[in-house]
Every structure is written in C-alpha cells, then in structure tokens.
Amino acid sequence: MNRYAYLNELSNCIQNELPADEYNNVMQYYTEYFADAGADKEQEVISELGAPDELARRIIAEFRGKQPSDVTIKSKKGLPVGWIIFIAIVGSPVWLGLLCAAIGVGAAVVAVVVSIAAVAAAMILGGVTAIAGGIMTAFSNGANGVLAVGTGCLCICVGLLLTMLFVLIVNAVVKGCKAASAKKKKKKYGGYTHTGNAM
C-alpha cells in the first residue's frame, strides 16, 4: 500500500463520520504528514500510523470524546477519485455523443412545435387575407372572388387545426412536467400527499 491508497482508505472511513471542516483538516494534516516524511519513508509512516481503519477509529473517537473501541465505522465504499476521472475521460466520446444527440433531439422537437405554431399563424393570416381579397375581387370577377374566399376559408380551417395540435402538444408537455414534479415530491415526502381540505 502506498500513501495514496492509504489516504484514500482513510478518507472513505472518516468522510461520513466527521463534519466537513474537520474532515478537511484531518485529510490535509495526514497528506502533509506523508509529504514531510518523504517518499523514501512512506512505508515507515504507514507502519507508524497503523491500518487506515484503526487510525480512522482513533480520529473519530478523539473528535467525539470516546474510546476507539466504542467507535463503529461505516466505511463509504466507492471508486477512488483517480479512477472516476480516468473513466470520465475515457468514456467522454460516448457520453459527449449521447449528450449531443439528446440536445439535438430536444432542439428538433422544439423546432417542430415552433414550426407548427408558425405555420398555423401563417395559414390563419393568409386565409383572412385571401377572404378579404376574394370579397374585393368578387365585384369585378365573381368566379375568382369565390375561389379566393373558399381558399381563404380552407387556410383558416387548416390553421385552426394546427393551432389545436400545438395546444395539445403544449398541454401534454405541461401535464408531463407536473406529473414528474408531483412524483418527485411524493417520493421526497414518503408518499404523503396533502389534500388541502380544511378541517
């Protein structure tokens, strides 16, 4: 075992047992203790300090004002920080690709919804314009005027249908967000749901 493995194990043993400031002070002290001793005396320091869990038990006992034998350590098992950084770097092409794909899909969905709203507005505006132009044209050319009014009515109908589709999509998204938020709150408060009824 080298100093890094020793300090990592010590960290796992005391991290959940001490306040953050005390934990930081302890880790800084022993990191500097190893550094002052030098690499050539690393094993001597490890032998002097004893096993990491035993040192952790002494540190916690001193902090709590107890005997080391009265201290139970709940060690936090996990990957060392170095491994986490290594995995993050090696896996970056994968998770960056997935992140970009997710952003792309989200942007595409937003673009489609905005496009539906824009086309609906354009169809309604174009329909109104066509109807107004058709009415004016009907006095000089009846057939063309009626055709323009009919086209305008058709455009308005299509615009209204697209508007309804836009409203349905937005409503579904809002309901989904509310359901997710309610589920999160229910989980946070142990399934208790306040009905709001007065006594």
What is the pLDDT averaged over residues 140-165? 89
Question: Distances from the Cα of 79 to the Cαs of 32, 83, 86, 135, in angstroms?
Answer: 23, 6, 11, 76
Quick one: pLDDT at residue 37? Answer: 87
What's the predicted TM-score (pTM) here?
0.43
Helix/strand/coil percent split, the chain, to 5 = 80, 0, 20
Residue 176 in this model has a pLDDT that exceeds 90: no
pLDDT-based confidence at residue 188 (cuts at 50, 70, 90): very low
Cα–Cα distance measured from residue 148 to residue 131, given in angstroms and rounded to the nearest whole number: 6
b/e code 17-55 from CB counts within 10 Å (16+ = b): bbeeeebeebbeebeeebeebeeeebeebbeebeebeeb
Q: What is the pLDDT of residues 86-96, one digit of tens each?
A: 666 766 677 77
Here the tokens at position 196 are 């709001």
Q: What percent of the chain has pLDDT over 90?
A: 16
User: 13, 53 in Cβ contact below 8 A?
Assistant: yes
Least confident of 74-78, 124-128, 132-136, 177-181: 74-78
Cα–Cα distance measured from residue 197 to residue 36, given in angstroms and rounded to the nearest whole number: 66
What is the pLDDT averaged over residues 125-145? 86
What is the pLDDT averaged over residues 69-82? 63
Cα–Cα distance measured from residue 104 to residue 114, given in angstroms and rounded to the nearest whole number: 15
Residue 161 in this model has a pLDDT that exceeds 90: yes
Cα–Cα distance measured from residue 114 to residue 153, given in angstroms and rounded to the nearest whole number: 23
Residue 8 in this model has a pLDDT that exceeds 80: yes
Using a 10 angstrom Cβ sphere, with 0-12 exposed, 13-18 middle and 19 or more buried, the burial of residue 171 is exposed
Quick one: pLDDT at residue 185? Answer: 59
Quick one: pLDDT at residue 78? Answer: 53
